[in-house]
Structure 1
């Protein structure tokens, strides 16, 4: 078994990274081999890695893409030094190019209300309407990732306690609160689910055939709802997660609690929402303070 295969098995089995992430690491390591003219990975040194970064930058790749590949390479060499006897990590001391942090697009509270209480897909039957409302209320209520929502099983949601057990990145589980409107929507969906579900179906959200929904199906349904609700912007599931985090933070100011509910391993990931909150405050200030108003 070669070193790359060993590493990919390690991140899949021990670190429990998703198949998409494992595939991305595999592509990044294959690209490293290509950028270094097929030189054996165990013989690469810091000048080889630096040269590979220069080649990536010459391809006009975004700084974030270069940083991701360097992170993949560094992870491989860390593993190879610890487990495979590699003498050195050629990525040590190298820093990725700085990338400007792109703030996530979010929906305002009014837009969320318009989406959830606005126009409904008239071509859908009552079961699908109930299912979609339950999904989108739960997205906004609990800040779930798309993969977490479609991965929910029936027993993961406790309607009496008002909470759900979610399996997130790295197969880590967490308990999230579920708001009363989401609980009511889920309760309204369950009788429809019972009539659609196959005998062994465990998924909370299923399609007409009684099987678990795919992420793509959820994306299409949400975008359809947004169009019929009259929203001018294209809406994707992660926007409801961003909206949840921003609106809770604006109301509570409790960054640590938002981190726990989102399932972020590092609070630095959650801090992007403080920038969004500051943008909101700055806009209010510019509009309200006499000394801040721009002259027309």
Structure 2
């Protein structure tokens, strides 16, 4: 099953939030765009603080703590490109605006994206809330309701494979997604094959998916 967004679907998703005149919608627009631009895992993203983002805007690299990364073996880093910078600046401004009306407890770090727990206490937006908000915007955009934040990570990998003009797009994707080996990144070549098959079916008017055609042909050959 396809677990990423095409170029058209990305535009639909982001515009569904961007065109909504509501502070929460604008917040969601910026974090959805940022996840597509970084491919960061949602558990990792949800732990980002305003302090980390300020440092990233100054240094040009967004670095997440290793204890917040998968496997907890090393810190991940993401290049702050111009598009990503714009979204991070917008999220930081929204975070600062809300923080000005709240009293942070001693030692509490200001999150990049604010949310509330079940008791109404302000803190970082939870992973479950990210999932719910993404599904809400996907539904509004007429997209697959099974979408999850991890789809945006796969979308980052696919965007690199589609758009890269270098000789080794797969290695670029590996570094961008902080994969330990190319074996993990190889999934995006399979996804590219899926896109190719879909386009060829549209061009030629095919009706039967390749895997089904193979199964039919093999079963007939064995008969």
Q: TM-score range by the shorter chain?
A: 0.7 to 0.9
Which one of the candidate residues 43, 52, 70 is aligned to 1:169?
A: 70
C-alpha separation between the residues in 2 aligned to 1:108 and 1:229? 13
CA contact (8 A) 1:131 1:186 kept: no
CA contact (8 A) 1:245 1:273 kept: yes
Q: CA deviation at 1:247?
A: 1.4
Alignment of 1:132-171 (within 5 A): 132-157=28-53, 158-167=56-65, 168-171=69-72
Secondary structure of 2:124's match?
A: coil
Aligned to 1:195: 97
Taking structure 1 as reference, are residues 202 and 268 closer, same or farther at Cα in structure 2, changes over 3 Å only? same
CA contact (8 A) 1:196 1:210 kept: no
Alignment of 1:96-245 (within 5 A): 105-119=3-17, 125-126=22-23, 128-157=24-53, 158-167=56-65, 168-171=69-72, 172-197=74-99, 198-199=103-104, 200-207=108-115, 209-245=121-157
Q: Which ranges of structure 1 fall in alignment gaps of 5 or more residues?
A: 1-102
Q: CA deviation at 1:294?
A: 5.3
CA contact (8 A) 2:60 2:79 kept: yes
CA contact (8 A) 2:135 2:145 kept: no
CA contact (8 A) 1:142 1:261 kept: yes
Secondary structure of 1:118's match?
A: helix
Q: CA deviation at 1:273?
A: 0.7
* TM-score, scaled to structure 1: 0.56
Higher RCO, Cα 8 Å, sep 6+: 2
Q: Deviations over 1:217-259 (max 9, x none)?
A: 1111111111222324432100111111011112225111211
Q: Deviations over 1:57-85 (max 9, x none)?
A: xxxxxxxxxxxxxxxxxxxxxxxxxxxxx
CA contact (8 A) 1:106 1:239 kept: yes
Aligned to 2:174: 259
Taking structure 1 as reference, are residues 293 and 265 closer, same or farther at Cα in structure 2, changes over 3 Å only? same
Which one of the candidate residues 180, 186, 194 is aligned to 1:271?
A: 186
Equivalent pairs, count: 188
C-alpha separation between the residues in 2 aligned to 1:293 and 1:231? 23
Taking structure 1 as reference, are residues 104 and 228 closer, same or farther at Cα in structure 2, changes over 3 Å only? closer
Q: CA deviation at 1:211?
A: 0.7
Q: Which ranges of structure 2 fall in alignment gaps of 5 or more residues?
A: 208-223
Secondary structure of 2:123's match?
A: coil
CA contact (8 A) 1:120 1:225 kept: no
Q: Looking at CA atoms only, which structure, 1 or 2, has the larger radius of gyration?
A: 1
* TM-score, scaled to structure 2: 0.73
C-alpha separation between the residues in 1 aligned to 2:40 and 2:16? 22
Alignment of 1:85-96 (within 5 A): none
Taking structure 1 as reference, are residues 293 and 212 closer, same or farther at Cα in structure 2, changes over 3 Å only? closer
Instruction: Identify the range of structure 1 (154-163 vs 188-197) with the bigger mean alpha-carbon deviation.
Output: 154-163
